[in-house]
A and B are shown apart, each in its own frame.
Chain A
Amino acid sequence: MAKILAVDDSASMRQMVGFTLKGAGHDVQEACDGVEALKIAQTGTFDLVLTDINMPNMDGVTLIKELRQLPAYKFTPMLTLTTESGAEKKMEGKQAGATGWIVKPFSPDQLLATIKKVLG
């Protein structure tokens, strides 16, 4: 079981991700944008951060940059959920410090398979 922070501005995506991860026995906290996520992140530690890129208030790239500044999140795996299959967005995430990415749309099974890569 891992503690996972799932960040997405879309409620249905959040529900889906949350439901899938909880179903697999993980402890999931949800946030609807970067600002909220950052707040939650500071109250505890997480084994994995999953974040959407396009969000109001604070986007995923900024969130990752901010999180990497925090000592507790220096080595934490962080994955971006992105529909943009273009290299550019992935690189932006990578440069901000993201570990990797999951391309939307993904099925619950794909999601679980992917996070297994970083929760080894």
Chain B
Amino acid sequence: MSVDMSQFYQTFFEESFEGLDIMESGLLGLDIGAADEETINTVFRAAHSIKGGSATFGFSVVAEFTHLMETLLDEMRDGTRMVTEDSVDYLLKSVDCLRELLTAVQDESEHNAEFVNEVKAGLERILHGDTAADTASSGGKAEGETAQEKPEIEGWVIEFKPADYLLKTGNDPVRLFNELSLLGEMETSCCTDNIPLFAEIEPENLYLSWTITLKGNIAKEQVNEVFEWVDDDADIILTCLGEEQAGEEKSSQEPVPLTVVESEANVEPGNSDAQGAEAESIVKNISPKAAAKPAAKKITSKEQSSIRVGIDKVDDLINMVGELVITQSMLGQLGENVNSANIEKLQDGLAQLERNTRELQESVMRIRMLPISFAFQRFPRMVRDLSNQLGKEINLVLLGEQTELDKTVMEKIGDPLVHLVRNSVDHGIESPDEREAKGKSREGTVELNAFHQGGSIVIEIKDDGKGIDKQVIFDKAVEKGIVNANESLTDEQIFDLIFAPGFSTAAVVSDVSGRGVGMDVVKRNIRELGGTIEVKSEKGQGSTIIIRLPLTLAILDGQLIRVGEDTYIIPLISIIESLQVKPEQISSIGGQAELYKLRDEYIPIVRLYDAFGLTPDSTDLKDGLIVIVEGDGGQAGLYVDDLLGQQQVVIKSLETNFRPVEGISGATILGDGTVALILDIAGLITLSRQSRGRAA
């Protein structure tokens, strides 16, 4: 029977890559010196499965490599090997290596042999450093090979005396005899001497023994193979026909491990060794076959953009569509016969429709939501590697991993997060000695925390390192010409300087971070997502970076406002408050830029009609309203004619449908079919600053 193995490849690759992830996170979670048994077991199992699968499916390169890992892990599992930093390092590298190998096999491309060999050598060095684990198997191979040449054999006399519990192992002597009979001409005689008195008989026990004569040129191994499984549950004495000298005794009655080892050592091509040799030869046999047949099915490794959705979410959706259909048919019926009697019913139906639609919308949005652990999962490994590289001791704490976030946002926040975590590790956390000198614990902590707050998700990156020295930042900014030496800035403004383009405070530009590009890019990326970034820091105590992001990019809670004839939308998240103008609190600079004094703060006023060239109801500030908005670290008061209402709006991109417009982030279609533009608050604030700059 021939089975096309390639049909199982896809499953094998999928589970192997999953296994690699499990191994990686397991290894990262290992405490050096006091490793958790269950974790090692899990890692071992993953390696074990990959090895078993790759050998079965003919990927011998993968199997060979995994074998080394498995051996090492097995020794750790048995407690014969200590879990050391070095060995975990190499196991982690092996995971990378295995990923490389598997990808290469999957794509049918060449793997990076240099890297693989290097890691392999490392594993072998660890393995052979103090134990001779592999010498046994290579010895076995040699023995298996020498056992090939033998003289002509006439046959065998086999004395088979099974233990009384043999049947309870599922072995049946009859099946053994059937199999023996396939080897040559067979005669059996049964010995019934051991059958006890009827009263003493245990019906489930076996009291018989046999003498079998098997004729033919049969290798001893062939006979042994038949009895392989019952070796320890029976006395088996093999005598070569024609040879009068006493046969070799093979086996021991009681399964005491010690005797087993001994008896196995006696039998020349020891059972286990022969088995080992067999396993190896199979690996070798399979590989050329697989190579000769260049994989029937080409498996594409191209990552398709897809998401895994929990079945419960899909069920929810189907349920809701069902409700929607019911409501629709109800409304349809009512619509056929509209009169004053059922107008109330119609209204009810419409309300239900609205509820259905909203629920449906929420459910659909939820499908795009993924737990933020997808973005967090790369950090344990990264922090570990970095801290090794930098000689720091760092404990990474991940919180709120289940917090859900839109997939698009998640994809875009990944790189900024990496940058920020690198910064914390590199610049934030001090070296262990430095920390000790300051009276802190040698181990620094970096904490990543995600949670929902209102309509946004907040991600905090917190470290207990040296914090940001405001003076150093300020001096640097002056030196770089970003601010004037005599300018006085608030703490917030100073921290904000680190996001300025071309700003870096690292004393030495290190390999890890600190080229002065990055923080500005980080800020830009976050702004593009409609989010904000904020820094809090206490010198000597550590820093916290707080990122606020909208939950999704597709929908926004908006405040509708009116300027003249037109309706605009301000994202609700950026509104601080709306107020009526008190004329005495307006002051103007140079007769151009107007400032509104709000609780001791001066906020620039942006007249929206001016910015967009519209005709307002009135140009007098006291006739309209001021909406105080915040974005990009700055505030502004938007002068509008009226506030209309709040609603959720679906964002349509202006860029894809029209072209980018300054001060506008997108558009939406309102209930009455008209298009309303969504204001880009951060952009407007920048615009107003520029015009102020010109005015000044």
Contacts and interface: CB of A to CB of B under 8 A. Distances in A.
A118 B53 contact: no
Interface of A is mostly: mixed
Interface stretch (B174-182, B236-244, B343-351, B663-671): B174-182
B692 interface: no
B44 interface: yes
Contact of A16 (B45, B56, B168, B175): B56
B170 A75 contact: yes
Interface in B249-290: 255, 257, 260-261, 264, 271-272, 275-276, 278-279, 282-283, 286
Interface residues of B, number: 54
A55 B56 contact: no
B282 A105 contact: yes
Nearest to A49: B170
A39 interface: no
Nearest to B77: A54
Interface string A28-58: 0000000000000000000000001011100
Contacts of B300: none
B275 A103 contact: yes
Nearest to B167: A75
A89 to B, nearest CB: 10
A46 B86 CA distance: 47
Contacts of A11: 11, 14-15
B272 A13 contact: no
Contacts of A90: 272
Contacts of A10: 15, 49, 52-53
Interface in A58-92: 68, 74-78, 81, 83, 85-87, 90-91
Given A11-B11, A12-B12, A97-B169, A120 B174 contact: yes
A105 B63 contact: yes
B172 A105 contact: no
Contacts of B45: 9, 54-56
B282 A107 contact: yes
Contacts of A16: 3, 5, 8, 56-57
Given A74-B204, A94-B232, A85 B272 contact: yes
Contacts of B257: 91
A56 B42 contact: yes
B3 A83 contact: no
Given A55-B45, A85-B275, A109-B1, A12 B8 contact: yes
A27 B535 CA distance: 64
Interface string A84-114: 0111001100110111110111111110100
Contacts of B229: 94, 99-101
A120 B172 contact: yes
B55 interface: yes
Interface in B1-42: 1-3, 5, 7-9, 11-12, 14-15, 42
B48 interface: yes
Given A94-B169, A100-B171, A83 B48 contact: yes
A12 B53 contact: yes
A11 B52 CA distance: 12
B52 A120 contact: no
Given A83-B52, A85-B276, A104-B55, 16 more contacts: A9-B49, A10-B52, A12-B15, A13-B49, A16-B57, A85-B137, A85-B275, A85-B279, A94-B169, A95-B255, A98-B170, A101-B229, A105-B279, A107-B282, A117-B179, A120-B178
Interface of B: 1-3, 5, 7-9, 11-12, 14-15, 42, 44-45, 48-49, 51-53, 55-57, 63, 70, 137, 167-172, 174-175, 178-179, 204, 228-229, 232-233, 255, 257, 260-261, 264, 271-272, 275-276, 278-279, 282-283, 286
Interface of A: 9-13, 15-16, 19-20, 23-24, 52, 54-56, 68, 74-78, 81, 83, 85-87, 90-91, 94-95, 97-101, 103-110, 112, 117-118, 120
21 contacts: A9-B49, A13-B49, A54-B48, A56-B42, A83-B52, A83-B55, A85-B275, A86-B272, A87-B272, A91-B257, A98-B169, A99-B171, A101-B229, A103-B278, A104-B52, A104-B279, A105-B63, A105-B283, A106-B282, A107-B56, A120-B172
